Amino acid sequence: MSKLPWQSDTPSGSFLPREYVKGKQELRFVAMTVSLFVIVMLAVVGAFLVTNQRWTSVREQQRTIAAEYESEGAKLKQLESLESQRREMLSKARITTALLETAPRSVLLSELVTALPLDATLTHVSLESKRIKQAPSRAAASAAKKAKSRSKSKKNEEVKPPVVLPPRFEYTLSITGVAPTNNDVADYLRKLQDSPLLHDVELTFIEETKLEGLELRRFEIVSKLPDDADAREVELAEEFDLDLAVANTLEDRP
């Protein structure tokens, strides 16, 4: 069927040419594509800016943490130095206190005489000391081995001096005396066992003896003196003058 003269190639209901309509549609499609591309790019750029800002904040926090870590590291080094000085001072203090008597011998003698029953008498008192050999601790031994290995690898490196342990002594006290009865000896033994200056107080023997015609009980007590004995723990502790005590005893005799 042939077209009439007034009919054209345009779509039905439109008087515009087909090429114009097609161009309009393509232009609209291109505009929509460009708009979507621009939106996507803006989203990508926005995400990049936000991420970059977050990374900037993270780097700033990292620098702050690094600065704080260096500051705390310096404080730790200072603390280690102070701890080393404290250990050295404690070692010197232990050596100094080991050379001093925390319980003077005069106070110890006063404790022995004060606890003595009324009619009892001490005939012999001896105090023997023995130095205790101390083996170095595991930490000190390992430190010495490390220092020795380092000295072999680095001859010019300064080697720390060995740790000096404070001397320790073991004191043994032997007491010999006479008393009228066994009860007096038992009371004297109990008082010595309660003394803070003595420990491991034991009665080694008790036997009958005669002295100037009197029947008495001769006894011997052995005890240990602790290293940390402190005379301040003794009630009414005072230094005892043996010469003065003997003189007063002779004056009281008839």
Give alpha helix (H) positions in the chain. 18-98, 105-114, 138-153, 182-193, 242-252
User: Is the pLDDT at 4 greater than 60, yes or no?
Assistant: no
Do 5 and 110 reside in the same domain of the chain?
A: no
- Do 110 and 189 share a domain, yes or no? yes
Q: Are residues 109 and 95 in the same domain?
A: no
Q: Residue 178's domain is classified under what CATH number?
A: 3.30.70
Q: Could you tell me which residues come within 8 angstroms of residue 176 by beta carbon, excluding any fewer than 6 positions away?
A: 122, 123, 124, 125, 218, 219, 220
Total domains in the chain come to 2
Buried b (16+ CB within 10 A) or exposed e, 61-83: eeeeeeeeeeeeeeeeeeeeeee
Do 115 and 190 meet the contact criterion of CB atoms below 8 Å apart? no
Q: Which has more confidence, 160 or 118?
A: 118
Q: Which residue did the predictor score with more confidence, 95 or 2? A: 95
**pLDDT for 23 beyond 80:** no
What CA–CA distances, in Å, run from 34 to 48, 63, 138? 21, 43, 79
pLDDT (mean) for 98-107: 69
pLDDT band of residue 55 (cuts 50, 70, 90) is: confident
Res. 219 pLDDT band, cuts 50 70 90: very high
Q: Which of 44, 74, 100 is the last residue of a domain?
A: 100
